[in-house]
């Protein structure tokens, strides 16, 4: 087995990351209602397991890209909660000095290279970073997160073709939550599984339960080891649940909400907790502490955002062109 | 020292020199390993010089990603209109990254594309869609009209830290000109005054520069001295040089191969109307392509394009002279 079995310390770190994302997202939802976060916001509550299991295995020199639902990916890749929250609050201390916002997070220092509000837009861009990794002879890789809705876009198909042709270290991570914005996958395509879409290209691909952190960790870890050895591309489809609407404020009339009892069984955080308890890694006190630490860290981030200034108008002029 | 080269070869010379100078420069696009481009493969290998499928979105997206990761890609797109199938990458990804990231990242790419091939290539390969790019903050837009500028502006484009849309005019492809030897850089945002004169200012780009210069020679026979300005880059745009000339002449004729409502001419007219109004002695006149899809039939193709006689007529009008009737 390429990926060593999950141990207590790593499980604890994964749990902490997932709680940080969930607490962040739920807090952002409330801040949005209070208009302290303005504009269009897409939350990833329920999908934390994929971000955590994938990004925990990456280094700062691995380029990660995402789409409109990117908060969790940025946080899992190492973006500070304070600066991410400040960005969503439009402050000068934000990751992007308040110029990007929810849909365009970048944290170059940690290799979170970009998120796009255009479905599929960063998929070919990630391939460019994979090309750069290959050309520079490094063992770094590129990873792009996208939803099942992006798979029907030309971006995806052009990228998959070239990635396979040039055999670049790109790992495509599809978070398939069954809905492309407001529309079920069945209304978009006859191909149910995203991993089947790429079948003719012959590269390694898999579909896993994205709520099962262990499964995501192991499948991604195997692809990552192979990509570091110079192989690629790979596609990992993770079946997930998007607990909230497409955007905050989405009335969600196009689907039934998942039953609470059902979600208790599937929730990636609760599942990892149950696994950890069964392994004897965690007790109830440790689990409660993990959640409350995350909530406290998010509250500190909110305070940081509130206390931070908005950017000065003069910043705009400096940001149109890079010169020098 | 200088040597004579066709316009298109001058562009290739700049790319070659920059690839020799800087290993991070990549060059890729469709049909790249065919005969015309083999010297690049021979010189720099198939890692840096790559043939791509007909996938403009992927080609440009890869360039953006490679640039974000430290390279300087030049994408060979052949036709400006082929960028239209990848407009997300050209207009909504490449030029947005720097601003949206608060200055954390840069996207040094060159999108090289020909335009304006009004030589029977009909409705989809003849457009002059330059102003479309000019209107996008973050993009730089380059429109060389001479072989020397074609070289010098390409070298500058490759060294620039921003996404640059480098638009070469297909009607100038085989026009020869003197090109400086070795390293040669033409700065962005500095217009060239191609001809000095005090009676009227004519601003033209690309293929229209020679139309304007020919018209100026005609007008000189009647004692009318036109100043011909070639902005060379549309973004950044050297409005200062244009305004200074208009201050001197008081009259402005704009010549542009674009359709009127999507032309750089219209943007320049707006700038001069706002900032140079007190200098103007007559309304600005724009000589552009007609607002129509370029027709295939040769006489009609000529009918929709600007030409010397239309420029001469516009200058007469702006000077208040009676039009010459045939």
Question: For position B45, which CATH number holds?
Answer: 3.40.50.970
Q: Which residues contact B200 (CB under 8 A, 6 or more apart)?
A: B224, B225, B226, B227, B249, B251, B252, B253, B315, B318, B319
Give B237→chain A minimum CA distance, Å.
13
**Which positions in chain B touch A143 (Cβ < 8 Å)?**
none
Closest listed residue to residue A30, CA positions, set A89, A83, A80, A78:
A89
Distance separating alpha carbons of residues A163 and A160, to the nearest angstrom: 5
The pLDDT, as a whole number, for residue B36 is 57
**Residue spans of beta strands (DSSP E) within B196-319:** 200-204, 226-230, 233-235, 252-259, 285-289
CA A38 from centroid of its chain's CA atoms: 21
Give a yes or no: residue A28 inside a domain. yes
Average pLDDT over residues B262-274: 97
Query: Nearest-CA residue of chain B relative to A63?
Result: B69
Q: What average pLDDT does the structure give for chain B?
A: 95
The pLDDT, as a whole number, for residue A245 is 82
**Which positions in chain A touch B236 (Cβ < 8 Å)?**
321
* In the predicted structure, residue B21 carries a pLDDT above the cut 60: yes
The pLDDT, as a whole number, for residue B324 is 56
Contact A106 B102 (CB under 8 A): yes
Count other C-beta atoms under 10 Å from residue A316's C-beta: 12
Give B260→chain A minimum CA distance, Å.
27
Closest listed residue to residue B143, CA positions, set B156, B135, B153, B158:
B153
Burial class (CB in 10 A: 0-12, 13-18, 19+), A32: buried
Burial class (CB in 10 A: 0-12, 13-18, 19+), B325: exposed
Average pLDDT over residues A293-304: 98
* In the predicted structure, residue A273 carries a pLDDT above the cut 80: yes
The predicted complex's ipTM stands at 0.95
One of B16, B125, B176, B275 is an active-site residue; which one? B125
* In the predicted structure, residue B38 carries a pLDDT above the cut 90: no
Pairing mode, if any, of strands B25-29 and B72-79?
A: parallel
What phi and psi values does residue A149 have, to the nearest 5 degrees?
Answer: -65, -30
| β partners of residue B233 | B142
Q: Are residues B203 and B293 in the same domain?
A: yes
Are A199 and A264 in contact, with CB atoms under 8 Å apart?
A: no
Pairing mode, if any, of strands B72-79 and B110-115?
A: parallel
Kindly state whether A67 is in contact with chain B, defined as any CB-CB distance less than 8 angstroms.
no
* DSSP 8-state code for residue B69: T
Q: Are residues B13 and B126 in the same domain?
A: yes
Q: Which of residues 87-146 of A touch B (CB under 8 A)?
A: 94-100, 104, 106-109, 113-114, 116, 118, 121-133, 135-136, 142
Helical segments of chain A, H only: 8-33, 48-55, 71-77, 81-88, 123-136, 154-166, 194-197, 213-228, 260-266, 268-278, 284-307, 314-320
The pLDDT, as a whole number, for residue A179 is 80
Query: CA B213 → CA B146, B148, B242, B257, distances in Å?
Result: 13, 17, 16, 15
Distance separating alpha carbons of residues B271 and B260, to the nearest angstrom: 16
Which of A63, A107, A122 minimises the CB distance to B69?
Answer: A63
Contact A118 B67 (CB under 8 A): no
**Which positions in chain A touch B26 (Cβ < 8 Å)?**
135
* In the predicted structure, residue A31 carries a pLDDT above the cut 80: yes
Give a yes or no: residue B143 inside a domain. yes
Q: What is the pLDDT of residues B134-163, one digit of tens each?
A: 999 999 999 999 999 999 999 999 999 999
Q: Are residues B166 and B20 in the same domain?
A: yes
Distance separating alpha carbons of residues A75 and B93, to the nearest angstrom: 22
Give a yes or no: residue B303 inside a domain. yes
Q: CA triplet A3, A222, A231: central angle to 5 degrees?
A: 140
* In the predicted structure, residue A1 carries a pLDDT above the cut 70: no
Query: Nearest-CA residue of chain A relative to B160?
Result: A323
Q: What is the pLDDT of residues B97-131, one digit of tens each?
A: 999 999 999 999 999 999 999 999 999 999 999 99
Q: On the CB side of B32, how many CA atoms lie within 13 Å of its CA?
A: 25
Q: Are residues B8 and B128 in the same domain?
A: yes
- Cα-atom radius of gyration of chain A, to the nearest Å? 19
Average pLDDT over residues B206-223: 97
Closest listed residue to residue B142, CA positions, set B126, B151, B154, B132:
B154
Give a yes or no: residue B185 inside a domain. no
Give a yes or no: residue A314 inside a domain. no
Closest listed residue to residue B108, CA positions, set B157, B154, B56, B57:
B157
* In the predicted structure, residue A127 carries a pLDDT above the cut 50: yes
Chain B interface residues (partner A, CB cutoff 8 A): 26, 47-48, 50, 52-53, 55, 57-58, 60-71, 73, 88-89, 92-93, 96-106, 137-138, 140, 161-162, 236
Give a yes or no: residue B280 inside a domain. yes
Q: Which residues contact A253 (CB under 8 A, 6 or more apart)?
A: none
**Which positions in chain A touch B30 (Cβ < 8 Å)?**
none
Residue of A117, A124, A323 for testing the chain B interface, max B β-carbons within 10 Å: A124
Count other C-beta atoms under 10 Å from residue A307's C-beta: 10
Average pLDDT over residues A157-181: 94
* In the predicted structure, residue A288 carries a pLDDT above the cut 60: yes
Are B149 and B142 in contact, with CB atoms under 8 Å apart?
A: no
Instruction: Please give the structure tokens belonging to residue B72.
Output: 């300087």
Domain count along chain B: 2
Q: Are residues B292 and B207 in the same domain?
A: yes
| β partners of residue B226 | B200
Residue of A59, A322, A323, A324 for testing the chain B interface, max B β-carbons within 10 Å: A322
Instruction: Please give the structure tokens belonging to residue B91.
Output: 């207009």
Q: Are residues B198 and B294 in the same domain?
A: yes
Q: Are residues B49 and B176 in the same domain?
A: yes
Which of A128, A165, A318 minimises the CB distance to B103?
Answer: A318
The pLDDT, as a whole number, for residue A180 is 78
The pLDDT, as a whole number, for residue A324 is 47
Residue of A84, A125, A315 for testing the chain B interface, max B β-carbons within 10 Å: A125
The pLDDT, as a whole number, for residue A153 is 92
Give a yes or no: residue A321 inside a domain. no
* In the predicted structure, residue B232 carries a pLDDT above the cut 90: yes
Q: What is the pLDDT of residues A69-88, one digit of tens each?
A: 999 999 999 999 999 999 99
* In the predicted structure, residue B196 carries a pLDDT above the cut 80: yes
Domain extent for B176: 2-180
Q: Are residues B118 and B230 in the same domain?
A: no
Kindly state whether A60 is in contact with chain B, defined as any CB-CB distance less than 8 angstroms.
no
Domain extent for A235: 8-306
Distance separating alpha carbons of residues B59 and B45, to the nearest angstrom: 18
* In the predicted structure, residue B264 carries a pLDDT above the cut 90: yes
Query: Which residue carries 């007790």 as its tokens?
Result: A283
Give a yes or no: residue A322 inside a domain. no
Give a yes or no: residue A1 inside a domain. no
Give a yes or no: residue A319 inside a domain. no
- Cα-atom radius of gyration of chain B, to the nearest Å? 20
Give a yes or no: residue B325 inside a domain. no
Give a yes or no: residue B323 inside a domain. no
Domain count along chain A: 1
Comparing A11-25, A248-262, A264-278, B251-265, which segment has the lowest mean pLDDT?
A: A248-262
- Count chain A–chain B contacts defined by CB atoms under 8 A: 154
Are B49 and B32 in contact, with CB atoms under 8 Å apart?
A: yes
Closest listed residue to residue B151, CA positions, set B166, B130, B170:
B166
Give a yes or no: residue A2 inside a domain. no
Give a yes or no: residue B47 inside a domain. yes
Instruction: Please give the structure tokens belonging to residue B92.
Output: 């909504």
Contact B93 A116 (CB under 8 A): yes
Distance separating alpha carbons of residues B272 and A20, to the nearest angstrom: 55
Can you give the CATH number for the domain in which B196 is found? 3.40.50.920
Query: Nearest-CA residue of chain B relative to A135?
Result: B47
Q: Which residues contact B95 (CB under 8 A, 6 or more apart)?
A: B107, B136, B137, B138, B139, B162, B163
Q: Are residues B176 and B197 in the same domain?
A: no
Give a yes or no: residue A313 inside a domain. no
Confidence band of B31 (pLDDT split at 50, 70, 90): confident
Q: Are residues B42 and B104 in the same domain?
A: yes
Contact B68 A125 (CB under 8 A): yes
Instruction: Please give the structure tokens belonging to residue A244.
Output: 């909230």
Confidence band of A200 (pLDDT split at 50, 70, 90): very high
Average pLDDT over residues B66-88: 97
B3: annotated active-site residue: no
Contact A155 B68 (CB under 8 A): no
Which of A63, A155, A315 minimises the CB distance to B57?
Answer: A155
Count other C-beta atoms under 10 Å from residue B98's C-beta: 25
Maximum separation of any 2 CA atoms in chain A, in Å: 58
Contact A96 B70 (CB under 8 A): no
The pLDDT, as a whole number, for residue B81 is 96
Can you give the CATH number for the domain in which A166 is found? 3.40.50.970
Give a yes or no: residue B145 inside a domain. yes
């Amino acid at each position: 087995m390429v990926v060593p079995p999950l141990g207590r310390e790593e499980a604890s770190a994964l749990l902490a990351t997932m709680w940080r994302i969930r607490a962040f997202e739920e807090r952002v939802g409330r801040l949005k209602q209070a208009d302290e976060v303005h504009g269009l916001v897409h939350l990833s509550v329920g999908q934390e397991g994929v971000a955590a299991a994938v990004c925990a295995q990456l280094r700062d020199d691995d380029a990660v890209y995402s789409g409109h639902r990117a908060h969790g990916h940025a946080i899992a890749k190492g973006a500070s909660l304070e600066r991410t929250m400040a960005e969503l609050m439009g402050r000068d201390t934000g990751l992007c000095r308040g110029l990007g916002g929810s849909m365009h997070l970048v944290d170059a220092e940690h290799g979170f290279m970009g998120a796009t509000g255009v479905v599929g837009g960063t998929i070919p861009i990630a391939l460019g970073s994979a090309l750069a990794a290959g050309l520079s002879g490094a063992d770094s890789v590129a990873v792009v997160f996208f939803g099942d809705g992006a798979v029907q876009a030309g971006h995806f198909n052009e990228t998959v073709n070239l990635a396979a042709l040039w055999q670049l270290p790109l790992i495509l991570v599809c978070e398939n939550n069954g809905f492309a914005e407001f529309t079920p996958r069945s209304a978009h395509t006859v191909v149910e599984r995203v991993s089947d879409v790429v079948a003719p290209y012959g590269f390694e691909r898999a579909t896993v339960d994205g709520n099962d952190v262990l499964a995501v960790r192991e499948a991604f870890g195997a692809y990552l080891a192979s990509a570091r050895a110079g192989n690629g591309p790979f596609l990992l489809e993770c079946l997930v649940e998007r607990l909230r609407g497409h955007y905050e404020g989405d009335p969600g009339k196009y689907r039934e909400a998942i039953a609470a009892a059902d979600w208790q069984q599937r929730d990636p955080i609760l599942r990892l907790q149950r696994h950890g308890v069964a392994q004897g890694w965690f007790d109830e006190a440790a689990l409660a502490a993990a959640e409350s630490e995350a909530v406290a860290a998010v509250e500190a981030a909110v305070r940081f955002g509130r206390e931070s200034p908005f950017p000065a108008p003069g910043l705009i002029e400096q940001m149109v062109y890079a010169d020098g | 020292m200088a040597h004579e080269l066709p316009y298109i070869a001058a562009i290739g010379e700049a790319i070659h020199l920059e690839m020799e100078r800087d290993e991070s420069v990549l060059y890729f696009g469709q049909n790249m390993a065919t005969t015309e481009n083999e010297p690049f493969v021979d010189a720099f290998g198939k890692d840096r010089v790559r043939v791509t499928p007909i996938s403009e979105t992927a080609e440009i997206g890869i360039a953006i990603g490679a640039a974000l990761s430290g390279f300087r890609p030049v994408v060979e797109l052949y036709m400006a209109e082929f960028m239209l199938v990848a407009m997300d990458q050209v207009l909504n990804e490449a030029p947005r990254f720097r601003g949206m990231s608060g200055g954390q990242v840069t996207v040094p790419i060159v999108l090289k594309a020909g335009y304006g091939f009004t030589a029977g290539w009909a409705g989809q390969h003849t457009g002059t869609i330059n102003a479309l790019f000019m209107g996008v903050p973050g993009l730089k837009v380059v429109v060389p009209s001479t072989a020397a500028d074609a070289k010098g502006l390409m070298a500058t484009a490759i060294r620039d830290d921003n996404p640059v849309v480098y638009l070469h005019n297909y009607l100038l492809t085989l026009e020869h000109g003197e090109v400086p030897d070795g390293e040669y850089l033409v700065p962005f945002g500095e217009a060239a005054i191609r001809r000095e004169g005090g009676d009227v200012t004519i601003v033209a780009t690309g293929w229209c520069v020679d139309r304007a210069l020919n018209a100026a020679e005609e007008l000189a026979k009647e004692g009318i001295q036109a100043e011909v300005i070639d902005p060379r880059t549309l973004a950044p745009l050297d409005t200062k040089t244009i305004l200074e000339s208009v201050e001197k002449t008081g009259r402005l004729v704009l010549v542009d191969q674009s359709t009127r409502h999507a032309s750089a001419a219209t943007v320049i007219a707006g700038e001069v109307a706002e900032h140079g109004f007190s200098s103007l002695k007559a309304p600005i006149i724009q000589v552009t392509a007609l607002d129509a899809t370029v027709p295939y039939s040769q006489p009609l193709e000529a009918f929709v394009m600007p030409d010397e006689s239309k420029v001469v007529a516009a200058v007469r009008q702006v000077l208040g002279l009676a039009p010459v009737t045939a």
